[in-house]
Amino acid sequence: MLQEIAEQPKALARTIQAERTKISRLGVFLKQREIDLIVLVARGSSDNAALFGRYLLEITTGIPVSLSAPSVHTLYGAKLNLRHALVVGVSQSGAGEDINQVLENARACGAYTVGITNEPSSAMVSYVDETLLMHGGRERSVAATKTFTGQMMLFYMLAAELAESRPVWTYDAIPDFAARALEQQPAILELVQRYVFMENCVVVGRGLAYANAYELALKLMETCYVVAERFSSADFLHGPVAMVERHFPVILFAPPGVMLPGVKSLIKRLRELRADTLAITSDLEAAGDCSRAIVMPKEIDEFVAPIPYIIPAQLFAALLADAKGLDPDQPRSLSKVTRTL
């Protein structure tokens, strides 16, 4: 897992280089089809990448985006009107029967279908009109890391091409920012010793960072066996904050941007409750108000933050698992490919 976390800057750069031309052509084609709905279908970490894709695509393109409920197709057999829809399947392996069945059904219902996968010879390829590939090489660790960020990168590339006008962000600097995020490993190695006995926690993020909260919570559950709930900073104040007591651990993603003031207000409230707070942030005020912080470079703005900000979180989960005496590469009861319908 640590090796694959470290591979991410190069993997992201390869994906940009290999897929840019194809995605540019795809964007031109999709604009001609007058797409008025985008549906994303995924499970597990891929579903968290799709959650990020939903925010980015809606903000950038103005097209409504829905996260598919696969059982609507696989168990209820619903037939949807998807004639002006783009349906994107997201799967590391491309072998998930439920994801592929949704893609097959969506295609029959008139949708244009795209698959995002790490496996160019997977079954998914036969169910879609176009395939977008990650170029990070085979992922051996059960816990997804480089494929998660690879999927996010492909959403950046797709969103840029579907935008009506040039976005305010560019994804080209993300591999370099990812490399800088890896420099946090020594500090995180020291930090995790304070969380060895953590059994429960909350992970908070909002907006473009909301998917990061889901992904870190999943990593803590599958590699560290920590019961990790995830919330937006807004939803957390609508009830769940009641469970916070002295020393209760709360991990917060606090990148710059429109969501930061709300997250900082939550941090101040958690300080009043004497919670144990850990922020991943570049804001020194937010860092100072927390029990501990992972301080990120200020040059990383809101739109490009999700990938470099998830890397310290991946390191935190992998190193915490090791500190707990667990093997993050072989979580109990899990396998690399999970088959559901």
The string of pLDDT tens digits covering residues 137-158 is 988 888 999 999 999 999 999 9
Number of neighbouring beta carbons within 10 Å of residue 204: 30
Q: Could you give the CA distance from residue 218 to residue 322 in angstroms, rounded to a whole number?
A: 16
Number of neighbouring beta carbons within 10 Å of residue 100: 24
Q: Which two tokens stand for residue 50?
A: 């799709």
Q: Could you give the CA distance from residue 193 to residue 214 in angstroms, rounded to a whole number?
A: 23
Helix (H, G, I), strand (E, B) or coil at 264: helix
> 78 Cβ partners below 8 Å, 6+ apart?
72
What pLDDT score does 89 carry? 97
Q: Could you give the CA distance from residue 258 to residue 246 in angstroms, rounded to a whole number?
A: 29
Helix (H, G, I), strand (E, B) or coil at 281: strand
What pLDDT score does 245 carry? 80
83 within 8 A of 110, measured Cβ to Cβ = yes
Fold of 2-172: Rossmann fold (3.40.50)
202 within 8 A of 230, measured Cβ to Cβ = yes
What pLDDT score does 4 carry? 97
What pLDDT score does 333 carry? 61
Q: Which two tokens stand for residue 296?
A: 């990120």
For CA atoms 305, 235, 65, 257, the dihedral sign is negative
115: closest CA among 93, 136, 82?
Answer: 93
What pLDDT score does 95 carry? 86
Torsion angle, CA of 279/281/287/290, rounded to 10 degrees?
-10
185: enclosing H helix or E strand: helix 185-191
37 within 8 A of 162, measured Cβ to Cβ = no
User: What's this model's pTM, rounded to 2 decimal places?
Assistant: 0.94
Say which CATH class 175-323 falls into.
alpha beta
The set of long-range contacts for 216-221, using a CB threshold of 8 Å and a minimum separation of 24, is: 216/251, 216/253, 216/310, 216/313, 216/314, 216/316, 216/317, 218/44, 218/45, 218/48, 219/143, 219/313, 219/314, 219/317, 219/318, 220/317, 220/320
Q: Could you give the CA distance from residue 16 to residue 310 in angstroms, rounded to a whole number?
A: 19
Could you state, in order of their start, the residue ranges of all structural domains in the chain?
2-172, 175-323
* 175-323 matches 2-172 in CATH topology: yes
Burial (CB count <10 Å: 0-12, 13-18, 19+), residue 34: exposed
Spell out where 214-332 has E strands.
227-231, 249-254, 276-281, 292-295
> 312 Cβ partners below 8 Å, 6+ apart?
181, 184, 188, 280, 294, 296
Residues of the chain with pLDDT under 50: 336
